[in-house]
Structure 1
């Protein structure tokens, strides 16, 4: 085999392994990246026009049997100013099972009785409601309690909590931002 034959075989091998200078693996990775970007754009950025109607004042949505008077008190206060809606999702600590959802408008206060136990809270705010699962969609803000809150009974005294959604620097309820894949 001469030098020209060798060059011909090298060129033939290069053209089989690439298309216009792109290797097959590079084409596959770019295709996967573009598909993932399209999926995320449709899932998070395409928002139904106007969203869904926000639940009426005081309508707490329970996903367990509604607690009776033997539960612990929970009071949630929405900020007095602003143009955003608020929702507080109550999840069972450890399992993450949805227990309840408390919708609030600006300036509202809701007092409910929750079953005794330990719960994590997700605080969401936004302008366009998308339901209990998506809350305010991609454009809303979501935070979660850093540590679970305990609701318990000691003797004849029941221990509950009061949560004020007004953001404060160095407040006494540590929260953290919620990642897009977290619920």
Structure 2
């Protein structure tokens, strides 16, 4: 093959291969082994390397931990009246007064409930755990202690607390703290319970925040 023929073949090969080059000494065509199209292949492990992007799943434990901290702080802010509330306050009912459902008036009243409040006004409710019906609501002013007779039976205790009273429909407005006791309470004849609403680490009244609003009385 002459020099002209050799140059012709070289130019023809370059036109065909595009990303290859002619190696005169080795006498072979060498490909561009590490061009961008194949750099992501791991030759040592025989697999393709994906892009290293952090998965959102790794942040779930952190988000849950943050949520467990923020929920109690939100309830504390409501009880203290820190959330915006521009409506005029109404007089809070007399401490120790009650609202009793019509069906509960026919139940025997031989038990009692003692409530001691902290720095928030409170409405303590007893709810029928089977039907979800309201039985009795007890109004207790802040920093007070009262004892009232209640129907005997098994009830779910719910706590509604706040500062500015807006009536039995809106309760404490945007600052309505609404919680439910984790365990049912049994009110036996001539017996009762004492609940202290001062929050403390060693308290034995376990509650959880309610996501819904309390029903109007």
The bucket for the TM-score relative to the shorter chain is 0.5 to 0.7
Question: Structure 1: how far apart are the matches of 2:158 and 2:115?
Answer: 12
2:98 to 60, 70, 73: 60
Number of residues paired by the alignment? 132
Deviations 1:87-133 (A, max 9, x none): 11221112111111111112211211111111111112111212234
Structure 2 equivalent of residue 119 of structure 1: 155
CA change 1:63–1:56 in 2 (3 A) is: same
1:145 aligns with 2:181: yes
Choose the corresponding residue for 2:206, options 174, 177, 180.
174
1:53 is displaced (CA, Å) by 2.3
Structure 1 vs Structure 2 CA RMSD: 2.6
Please tell me whether residue 105 in structure 1 is matched to residue 168 in structure 2.
no
Structure 1 residues 181 and 103: CA distance shift in structure 2, 3 A: closer
Tell me the TM-score normalized by structure 2. Answer: 0.53
- The 1:77–1:68 alpha-carbon spacing in structure 2 relative to 1, beyond 3 Å, is farther
Pick one of 101, 104, 123 that aligns with 1:87: 123
Q: Distance in 2 between matches of 1:108 and 1:182?
A: 23
**Cα contact 1:118–1:151 (8 A) shared by 2:** yes
Structure with greater strand percent: 1
Residues 120, 148 of structure 1: 8 Å contact kept: yes
Considering only CA atoms, is the larger Rg found in Structure 1 or Structure 2?
Answer: 2
1:69 touches 1:113 (CA, 8 Å); kept in 2?
Answer: no
Give the TM-score normalised by structure 1.
0.62
Q: Which runs of 5+ in 2 are unaligned?
A: 1-82
Q: Distance in 2 between matches of 1:66 and 1:92?
A: 14
Moved over 2 A (4+): 45-48, 64-70, 130-135, 180-183
